[in-house]
Amino acid sequence: IDKPAGLVVHPGAGHATGTLVNALLHHCGDSLSGIGGVKRPGIVHRLDKDTSGLLVVAKTDAAHQGLSAQFADHGRTGPLEREYSALVWGAPSHLKGTVDANLGRSTHNRQKIAVFRPGGRNAITHWQVRERFLEPGPQPKGAPAIAALLTCRLETGRTHQIRVHMAHLGHGLIGDSMYSKPMRSGQMPDAAARDCL
């Protein structure tokens, strides 16, 4: 399923209706895999509410078991790789790299995920710069980018992993109000800023 941003995947606190699972149950009825339970039938993995992208849903228990095993393997021994595009503030100084930082529930805000050293669960994100965006108009050589488009490949699949890892890298996702610090006023043209937020 091509999940749009803003759609909650399954019912939870504050989202009893209007979720992807509600739509799937309406469309598929009892034909979804029951492995996910009553609240998550057919759901093999999740995407954050504000994340758009491909979401895999299983219609049979056999498909659910096979797909879940591939997602749990994170491409280590099998063919499945998860890759996401991320538009971030600024640009990393290198063209590619890896964030290897354990993640866990924040002790200060239970709705947020935080980097833990030591502790937390292993989390690894490989990233690569695809494009850097400079201020409009002529720029001197070596001018800092105001934003960059990255490809992020997950070796693990933790809640908010890309959002937290990119913020930890110092390049939070544009439009992410939970982990990303917006750029200073005037650093991005008004029209572009409206489109990004």
Which 8-state DSSP code applies to residue 13? Answer: T
Counting beta carbons within 10 angstroms of the beta carbon of residue 71, is it exposed (0 to 12), middle (13 to 18) or buried (19 or more)? middle
Which 8-state DSSP code applies to residue 31? Answer: G
C-alpha 85/C-alpha 41 separation (Å) is 27
Which residues are identified as catalytic?
48
The span from the first CA to the last CA of the chain, in angstroms, equals: 24
C-alpha 183/C-alpha 114 separation (Å) is 21
Question: Tokens 């939970």, residue?
Answer: 178
Check if the beta carbon of residue 119 is closer than 8 Å to that of residue 88. Answer: no
Strand spans (E) along the chain:
2-3, 53-54, 82-89, 96-100, 103-105, 113-115, 124-133, 147-154
C-alpha 19/C-alpha 7 separation (Å) is 6
